[in-house]
Amino acid sequence: MKGPDDVFKQGFLIAQKKQAFGYIGDYYVLSSKRSRFHYMALGQGVESYALTKQFLHQKIFKKFPGLHQDMLSGSFSRYIKEIRKPVDKKRSEVIKRINKIINYA
């Protein structure tokens, strides 16, 4: 899959493209984990809104105690299905293709 030249020059592979996608990064914020992938906008006209981790945990989840677990379980299953499995599959395909090309001495 080809993408903008500057992205490839920096050593990134575009494993997945999304259009009109709801939201990203929620699993990392809700579970207090570091992001496994880089996310970037490839075009103009991207609109986004953000809630800080501090705001969510100190304001929203204190007022609604059960909300955190509900949101975390939903975001984890969506993350696995929509992002992690497809990107890992693409990664494996690229590794197999590169290994076929490279001659081991």
pLDDT tens, 57-75?
999 999 998 999 999 999 9
Whole domain around residue 41: which residue ranges? 5-101
Please indicate whether residue 3 or residue 57 has the higher confidence score (pLDDT): 57
* Tokens encoding 12: 């990134």
- Token match 């992001």: residue? 35
Give the per-residue pLDDT at 61: 93
- Token match 């914020």: residue? 29
* Cα 88 to Cα 96: distance, rounded to the nearest angstrom: 12
Question: How many domains in the chain?
Answer: 1
pLDDT tens, 43-57?
Answer: 777 788 888 889 999
Residue 29 sits at φ, ψ, to 5 deg, of: -70, -45
Instruction: Answer whether residue 88 shows pLDDT above 70.
Output: yes
Instruction: Answer whether residue 1 shows pLDDT above 80.
Output: no
Instruction: Answer whether residue 42 shows pLDDT above 90.
Output: no
The lowest-confidence range among 7-11, 72-76, 83-87 is 7-11
